[in-house]
Amino acid sequence: MIVIEAKKLTKRYGNGKGVQELNLAVNKGEIFGFIGPNGAGKSTTIRMLLQLIAPTAGELSILGTRIGGDHPELRARIGYLPSEIRLFPDMTGKQALEFAAAVHGIELANSPAARYVERLQLDTKQKIKSYSLGNRKKLGILLSIVHNPDLLILDEPTSGLDPLMQQEFYDMLRELNERHGTTIFFSTHVLTEVEKLCDRVAIIREGRLIRVSTLEEIAADGGHRIEAMFREPGDKRDEYGIRAIDPGAIYENGHHIFHVGSSLNDVLKLLSEKQVHELNIRKPTLEERFMDEYRKPQQQPQDRSVN
């Protein structure tokens, strides 16, 4: 079953920004990462998934319901953690959780949130106004799962959590996913988060989806990362023909960083004719592959495999 299905989903703001013709299919039980640099369109997409804003064009179905008009029944099946949570400051954590459970017509004790309060080491007797940023985040996470949603949407969920709590949070998400079959869709800038959690990842840039892949597919992309420093100072990308090999080549502090496909012959020939001061050739890390995807010159929209 497809839990999130977007076809040519578009949101255009008055300033021409937004997201353009997104095609996306997230399957039931997937942990799906949505990554992209600042301003790429992650929050805009999430707001459309939550029916907080209406698309300008395109189609969207959530949990088998075609979006358009009001769908209160869907709200009972979706959990959402916004990137910045607004909470009632004078409530205690426990009161907030009980309130959220009551809104959904359930007992807090029967909710998955009750199980995780202790795990996340949250003191729910304290008033929310005394909570640190990390504790507010923890409460937000618990509030988003109070009603055991079928689909959990998280907007930059771990910002503000220390590494130990992040790990606890990842374990919790994995457990929710395995025990309840919860489909999890989350946006992030944090690449290690994607690596630790996701089955598949969509990369968005400048409002367009540039890739949807499994992590294995991204890791298996062929190619080499080359970092070269030349005896002659300055940026040699054009003069030495480096940009002809990789239009996305970058120049930083005397280093020329570029990528080639599986064959190194052309680049070795080129380098052998120059005065090379330092050279490093290796397979890129997963993080570098993501950064490459961010930096790549914009391709024709949707010309990479999008499932």
Ligand X SMILES: Nc1ncnc2c1ncn2[C@@H]1O[C@H](COP(=O)(O)OP(=O)(O)OP(=O)(O)O)[C@@H](O)[C@H]1O
The residues that touch ligand X, with contacts defined as CB under 6 A, are 13, 15, 17-18, 36, 38-44
Give the separation between CA 233 and CA 274, rounded to whole angstroms.
Answer: 12
Enter the DSSP assignment of 129: G
Nearest to ligand X of 34, 230 (CB atom): 34
The residue among 48 and 142 lying less far from ligand X, judged by its C-beta, is 48
Cβ distance to ligand X smaller for residue 9 or 40: 40
- H or E element: which one contains 19? strand 18-27
Measured distance CA(90)–CA(104) in Å, rounded: 21
In the complex, what is the shortest distance from the CB of residue 179 to ligand X, in angstroms, rounded to a whole number? 30
Helices 133-145 and 93-103, axial angle in degrees (round to 10): 20
Indicate the residue among 41 and 112 with the shorter CB distance to ligand X. Answer: 41
Supply the minimum distance, in Å, between the C-beta of residue 294 and ligand X. 12
Neighbour tally for 104: CB within 10 Å? 14
Q: Supply φ then ψ for residue 96, to 5 degrees.
A: -65, -40
**Helix H or strand E encompassing 2:** strand 2-12
Q: Which residue lies nearer to ligand X by CB, 150 or 156?
A: 156
As beta bridge partners, residue 152 has 79, 184
Alpha helices in the chain (DSSP H): 42-49, 72-75, 93-103, 112-119, 133-145, 163-180, 191-197, 215-220, 242-245, 265-272, 286-295
Q: Are 170 and 196 in contact (CB under 8 A)?
A: yes
* Residue 299, token pair as written in the block: 């391709």
C-alpha closest to that of 248 among 292, 279, 213, 304: 292
Q: How far is the CB of 18 from ligand X (least distance, A)?
A: 5
Q: CB 123 → ligand X: shortest distance, Å?
A: 30
- Cβ-based nearer residue to ligand X, 39 or 181: 39
Quote the least distance from Cβ 246 to ligand X, whole Å. 26
Q: How far is the CB of 45 from ligand X (least distance, A)?
A: 7
Least distance (Å) between residue 204 CB and ligand X = 7
Residue closer to ligand X (CB basis): 135 or 187: 187
